[in-house]
Amino acid sequence: MKFESLNRKSAPVSLREAVMQGLAPDGGLYFPDSIPAMPSNFFDDAALMSFQDIAYEMAKRYFVPDIPEAELRRITDDAFSFDVPLKEIEPDTYVLELFHGPTAAFKDFGARFMARTLGYFAKETGKEITILVATSGDTGSAVAHGFLNVPGIRVVILYPKGKVSPLQEKQLTGMGGNITTLEVDGVFDDCQRLVKKAFIDSDISEKRSLSSANSINLGRLLPQMFYYAYASARLQGRGKPVAISVPSGNFGNLTAGLIAKRMGAPIERFIAATNENSVVPEYLETGNYNPRA
């Protein structure tokens, strides 16, 4: 499988190159050139499988042969070492609890998997990798914890001044070690813009091997599809179609759900739920993109 820039101006690359680069040279996001379907009976069997087993079987379609199967199995088992409860809160309504990871954020799923993936690539290539990440709070906390003390990895986190909670700021700035945190006088999109600018700067790329841990990186995006598959497989035998409401900001989490559905997860529809952070709905309605904190 190859991975192509969504801007269509860069050559296709391998999974390893896509994850290590984070962003294509033309500024586009990498995406698989095709979405593989799981075997027809997989999601019937998945109702009785562990989260780690589902994650491993789905990940194989993208990460092998760049990562050997035995190593990929170790990565999935180690990354997802916490519970993922699916709880019924009223008849036919369920909540999938994604806050049982070490930083109590759903982003622990992608960050921990990506940290172990990049750690493997750093070891195999012998190159130190610098991770650049923009955050408005929970992304940075999950990335900092996930990558802390991973050999061959340095992490630089940018966050907007005054835009994260006191707890999140303590999580971001209290790690030390291979984690460096920078406060930016601006909003989240300013932080993201600086990260993207660094990726397409040839002088920087010649000196350092850069990657990103934001959802622009496939290494963090793809693992988020696992919990959609896990939940829908357990619900499909209840006799009613599965609809999933996804709290949405930049729609990366929802994108992972759509990939899971394309792979065969028994999901009928999605609901993209937004709050006052309604930049994407406003763009879809008006055609005007107005980023804000």
1-28 pLDDT, tens digit per residue, is 999 999 999 999 999 999 998 889 898 9
The stretch 239-245 carries a mean pLDDT of 94
DSSP line for 137-204:
SHHHHHHHHHHTT-TTEEEEEEEETT-S-HHHHHHHHS--TTEEEEEESS-HHHHHHHHHHHHT-HHH
Q: Using pLDDT thresholds of 50, 70 and 90, give the confidence band for residue 218.
A: very high
- Tens-place pLDDT, residues 143-188: 899 999 999 999 999 999 998 888 888 888 888 899 999 999 999 8
> E strands within the chain?
3-5, 30-32, 86-90, 93-96, 129-134, 153-160, 179-184, 209-212, 243-247, 269-273
Q: Using pLDDT thresholds of 50, 70 and 90, give the confidence band for residue 279.
A: confident
> What is the average pLDDT score of the chain?
92
Residue 105 Rama label (left phi>0; alpha psi -120 to 50; beta): beta
Burial of 139 per CB tally in 10 Å (0-12, 13-18, 19+) = buried
Domain boundaries, the chain: 3-286
Measured at the CA of 268, the angle between CA 262 and CA 270, to 5 degrees, comes to: 85
Q: Using pLDDT thresholds of 50, 70 and 90, give the confidence band for residue 293.
A: low
Separation of first and last alpha carbons in the chain = 37
Cis peptide, bond prior to residue 281, ω within 30 of zero? no
Q: Do 188 and 293 meet the contact criterion of CB atoms below 8 Å apart?
A: yes
The percent of residues above 90 in pLDDT, for the chain, comes to 68
- The answer as to CATH 3.30.470.20 being correct for domain 3-286 is no
Burial of 287 per CB tally in 10 Å (0-12, 13-18, 19+) = exposed
Any catalytic annotation for residue 197?
A: no
- The pLDDT, as a whole number, for residue 72 is 98
- The pLDDT, as a whole number, for residue 189 is 86
Helices (H) and strands (E) in the chain, counts: 13, 10
Check pLDDT > 60 for residue 69.
yes
250 compared with 65, residue with greater pLDDT: 65
Catalytic hit among 107, 163, 196, 261:
107
In this structure, how many other beta carbons lie within 10 angstroms of the beta carbon of residue 270?
17
Q: Using pLDDT thresholds of 50, 70 and 90, give the confidence band for residue 292.
A: low
Check pLDDT > 90 for residue 120.
yes
